[in-house]
Amino acid sequence: MKITVLVDNNTLIDRYFYGEPGVSYYIEDEGKTILFDVGYSDAFLRNAQKMNISFHTLDFLVLSHGHLDHTWGLDHLVKFYSEASNEKQSIRKPRIVAHPLVFKSKIFDGEEIGTLISEEKISQHFKLELSMKPVWISEQLVYLGEIPRTNDYENKRSIGMVVYEDNQEQDYLKDDSALVYKSKNGLIIITGCSHSGICNIIDYAKKVCHEEKVADVIGGFHLLNPDKNVLEKTIDYFSYLKPGTTHPCHCTDLKTKIALSNIVPVEEVGVGMTLQYA
């Protein structure tokens, strides 16, 4: 499996890529191509073009959750495929894999922070596979679906409100999920923001994949100025887990990275970077 970073808060390679506070990864595995999240703008498309990555034959689009920094690029992807179709270009639109709540409106301080396209509208452009249960993308790559919240320290604060047809509720991001790849050296866990809790995600990944060893964790850990208790328990968890390496990025602050680096290998992440796993 190969992961190419299309969008991150940082850029690493000595080329003029676009960075933004968002996530988008291009994944290749077993002849399949997967786009994981689409960031906040069209930066993922512009960066992909600079890397000579084509979306004309994309197999899957996986959405980690419904927040703006992971889904607002959808408008630009719809436009990309509409223009390609109008120009009679050969295209294969991806199947969208996500949680059933991913297209619900999300409100914070009176403003929309969720997807700008409704489920009804997006279904006119793409086939949808909305699932609370794990979905296997390939023999070794799985979308986890809804993550059980099993520990007592993660995901204890809501972020705004999620809007249903007839009511609003505190939003604990039930739609937050992740991808997991079963490599020869252990699990590769790929996250968006980890609102479910990075430790909860890893526990569920091990259960779904029947594997205890973790080779790498890449993505947002949702640890921006975390509470002391949350950070300490997360550090304890990773100290026991002993992953081969980690690539914390996006919504993970320097304080957390430094604390993690004292117990596990921590590597940088930025637009243009590629990672490969057997």
Task: Outline where DSSP puts E strands in the chain.
Answer: 2-7, 24-29, 32-36, 60-62, 95-98, 105-108, 111-112, 128-130, 135-136, 141-143, 161-163, 168-170, 178-183, 186-191, 214-220, 245-249, 274-276
Q: How confident is the model at residue 166 (pLDDT cuts 50, 70, 90)?
A: confident
Q: Amino acid identity, residue 230?
A: V
Residue 167 DSSP one-character state = -
Residue 73: closest CA among 109, 122, 33: 122
Least confident of 9-23, 43-57, 257-271: 9-23
pLDDT digits (tens, 9 = 90+) for 119-158: 999 999 999 999 999 999 999 999 999 999 999 999 999 9
- On average, the pLDDT of the chain sits at 96
Percentage, residues of the chain above pLDDT 90? 97
pTM over 0.85: yes
Residue 31 has a pLDDT of 94
Mean pLDDT of 251-271: 97
Percentage, residues of the chain above pLDDT 70? 100
Mean pLDDT of 98-107: 98
Residue 212 has a pLDDT of 97
Residue 15 has a pLDDT of 78
The yes/no answer on whether domain 2-276 falls in CATH 3.90.170.10 is no
